[in-house]
Structure 1
């Protein structure tokens, strides 16, 4: 009888622990939009829309921080792309976001020039979108810790494609098993680490680190290459041949970007 009376309390405790565990393991969902542009006029129209309409509307509709980035001047695609990064708490929040925007009268009014642009005067040439999920050991977006002038910063966006799905998963394991810790220890101020669940280049993972300027960025990589933890991981058999393509983008944040 005593066991029967205490069983509900035990079940309650178990359910509570499971709920806490599930919540703790919940991973953010990220959307990364890449706007391709071909003229200063398009860039100006897009900047105005993002700053005055889209970002304020995103804040009103549950997205606390929006990142807007452009290639630094030394990059071959400088002036031709604008990256917009959105962190969501769940896939449901991401799915419902656009519907919220289309019901937001202030957004529709403030963004009228962009939303109702003529077919022969579009604000962009095309948009690429990637949807990602935070990695298990870095499940949530983290705003950059940098405090220096935005124009001087270097935000490094990397995409690692795997030759097969199995080898891609091994690279994800490598990040979760210590590679991302090295960036943290080197003060690279990571914004996110994520597995791409829908996008133009798969299978792949993406991540973003931040640096005060290009010299410090280069210094961080010099330190990374000789870091004992990295040297201990890179030649392990299980992590060999896990990356078939490394796509690196060096970016700076727009002045109106939230981080």
Structure 2
């Protein structure tokens, strides 16, 4: 089968620019967008001006810094509402948040990343996390990601490990291919995954895949400050999460 050829070079470049704005820590200027996307300043400016008129980006201030447009709020809301998984999972995961008083995340696979579909934060003991709805996390460093990897066929897992650069992003990130393969086998045996400061410092997560009829739907996690993830709490959370996992999979 021939490889799919993408149509519309300007559209592809616009997507690169939007991706850059999505991941930028601060609103960038034109020169930063051009350098970060490797798109010439003249071309980038034309695309940005067009997207500004369409409401896809906002140009603010004398320094002309660029932000994603507010139209994406409506797009994101519609995209999230179209996910059947979110409709089935949210009531169950909200209850899980209420009885654990910890932050609960729900994610789906997109390429070689986990996209955060929902984040139900702790009401009384909230912690500041980098993750945002719509944001991406590595499969190899997050608990949801490792739960997903454990649900993949061994051939697909092997291809992912072979092709992925395992960058250290937190104190305990796994950066060895052999160590990651061993970790995923451990997740398969345990039925859940852990993230012990592998994706973010001082944060500990328990991850669980969601499957139905051998089809991977996504994953969810319980996220807490490391000091609060004691052995007793882990045992309690595992029992509650397994029940939530069963309820979501049965309802879907």
Q: TM-score range by the shorter chain?
A: under 0.3
| Larger helix percent | 2
What TM-score, normalized by structure 2, do the two folds share?
0.24
Bigger radius of gyration, 1 or 2? 1
TM score, norm. by length of structure 1: 0.24
